[in-house]
Amino acid sequence: MRPRELISRVTTIFWVIPATGSVLAGAGAITAVWLDRAYGGKFGLLYGGGPDSARAILSTVASSVLTFAALTFTITIVALQLASSQFSPRVLNSLLRDRWTQSALAVFVGTFVFALLILREVRAGDDGFVPGLGVSLTLVLGLASIGTLVGFIHHMAQSLRVVTIIDRINGETRQALDAWYDDDEAEPGPDGRVVSGGSQIVTAPGDGVLTWFDRDALVKRAVQEDLSVQILIPAGTWVVEGQPLLEVHGAVGEVEDLQSSFGLARERETSRDPAYGFRQLVDIAERALSPGVNDPTTAVQCLDRMHSLMHWIAGRDLAVGDTVVEGTVRLRVPVPTWGDYLGLCCDEIRHWGADSVRIHRRLEVLLKDLLDVVEGERAEQVRRQLVHLERRREGDVAFEWSATSSAGDPAERPNRVSAGSH
């Protein structure tokens, strides 16, 4: 795993930022005590009292911020439960990565650690010592903790609004699409030849979801050894140990070590799998359309975001799966097509929103707008979606199943690759 990938994964772990805050607070407390001792304890900025009042202040701040931390944790757990039950379990990962929650816990836990370390340095009697700077900074941190708590409560109240959740998913999906496709007007990439000769199959090293691969390392290896590497399954697909993962053309030596350039996880990640962002929005819309919830407005809001995403990629070249170096395909990656994205946006919501006039009306607006900005095969696929919408209104379910079975989320289509087929 590359350092950038490692840093990205570490920073998404919930406890990393609070733990970092604790370490920094401990270092700050040690530095403050050293300065106090160096200047004879006369470094106080906001405090000039004796040891008894210093102990009282430090103890009060420490106990208060520990209560703040417990309250923050409780609110976070309740928020996760509400989000999971009302929207989709897939949104929990986004909430757990929320920097506000992690930073708030870092402030509270850091203040607690700072106050405890300063408290142990307070001495009474003839050799008494009161770290004035440390107590002053504890007061400042205590006030900052109160402000952080108020800000955190406001932030969580806003975070549980459905529009905030779907906007966060929309933003993550847009970033993932930016990583796949250029912001400028895309031009078709160069065609290349696949290295001739024999081929070898590299199998998956374990079970899990294909979440990332090191494109640079794979291309570098392919150039050095004159190979063409083809990834056989799309990102986000669940793979089983021993299932074909790569096909390496032109290989004459050992290539099993290419497994180290891939990462398997327990669930999909939007950063390397833009279709998963669409999937989350579709999940929220489907739950909103269920009879138990009956909230078509939320489904319409999800369609609004997918409309924007589809409009953004309408003018882009989506065939970015081939990395061609000097006329030779060095890496071939399966990527979602226009039809995949379109089917993912429309098919399931059209099915579950069959009885909702608003859903049909919003889908029609989405499709007709896309029809104005695309042409050729893409326009034909949009027209087919309009036909599906009209047939669904007529209740022709059998037609819909047969017409939409080949589109949608690439990671959820039947995998026809098997070891025996090579």
**What pLDDT score was predicted for residue 98?**
78
Question: Which of 139, 160, 181 is the last residue in one of the domains?
Answer: 160
Q: pLDDT tens for residues 151-175?
A: 999 888 888 788 888 998 999 899 8
Angle at 307 between CA 304 and CA 313, to 5 degrees: 150
To the nearest 10°, the Cα dihedral for 209, 214, 218, 223?
160
What band does 187 get if pLDDT is binned at 50, 70 and 90?
very low
Is residue 65 included in any domain, yes or no?
yes
Is residue 286 included in any domain, yes or no?
yes
Q: Determine which helix (DSSP H) or strand (DSSP E) holds 208, and give its type and residue range.
A: strand 208-213
CA distance 15 to 200: 42
Query: Are residue 145 and residue 280 in the same domain, yes or no?
Result: no
**What pLDDT score was predicted for residue 190?**
58
**What pLDDT score was predicted for residue 417?**
53
Is residue 88 included in any domain, yes or no?
yes
Is 100 exposed, middle or buried, given 0-12, 13-18 or 19+ CB atoms closer than 10 A? middle
Q: Which residue has the tokens 């890496």?
A: 331
Domain that holds residue 365: 271-319+336-412
Question: Which of 113, 128, 160 is the last residue in one of the domains?
Answer: 160
Is residue 189 included in any domain, yes or no?
no
Query: Are residue 154 and residue 290 in the same domain, yes or no?
Result: no
Q: Is 41 left (phi over 0), alpha (psi -120 to 50) or beta?
A: left
Q: What is the mean pLDDT of the chain?
A: 83
**What pLDDT score was predicted for residue 421?**
47
**What pLDDT score was predicted for residue 341?**
93
Instruction: Name the more confident of 248 and 401.
Output: 248
Q: pLDDT tens for residues 209-222?
A: 998 888 888 898 88
To the nearest 10°, the Cα dihedral for 305, 311, 317, 320?
0
Question: Which of 124, 140, 160 is the last residue in one of the domains?
Answer: 160
Is residue 73 included in any domain, yes or no?
yes
Q: pLDDT tens for residues 280-294?
A: 999 999 999 988 888
Q: Is the pLDDT of residue 298 over 60?
A: yes
Give this prediction's pTM.
Answer: 0.77
Is residue 262 included in any domain, yes or no?
no
Query: Are residue 275 and residue 152 in the same domain, yes or no?
Result: no
Q: Is the pLDDT of residue 420 over 50?
A: no
Is residue 242 included in any domain, yes or no?
no
What type of residue sits at position 40? G
Judge whether 296 and 359 are in contact, CB under 8 Å: yes
**What pLDDT score was predicted for residue 294?**
85
Q: Of all residues in the chain, what percent carry a pLDDT higher than 90?
A: 32
Q: Determine which helix (DSSP H) or strand (DSSP E) holds 53, and give its type and residue range.
A: helix 51-86
Give the CA distances from residue 317 to residues 31, 180, 210, 343, 371, in Å, rounded to whole numbers and listed in that order: 56, 10, 24, 18, 17
What band does 185 get if pLDDT is binned at 50, 70 and 90?
very low
What band does 422 get if pLDDT is binned at 50, 70 and 90?
very low
In the 8-state DSSP scheme, what is residue 194?
Answer: P
Give how many domains the chain has, as a whole number: 2
Residues with Cβ within 8 Å of 63's Cβ and at least 6 positions away in sequence, in order, are: none
| Mean pLDDT lowest among 133-142, 163-172, 316-325 | 316-325
Is residue 295 included in any domain, yes or no?
yes
**What pLDDT score was predicted for residue 368?**
93
pLDDT, mean of residues 196-221: 87
CA 145 to chain centre: 28
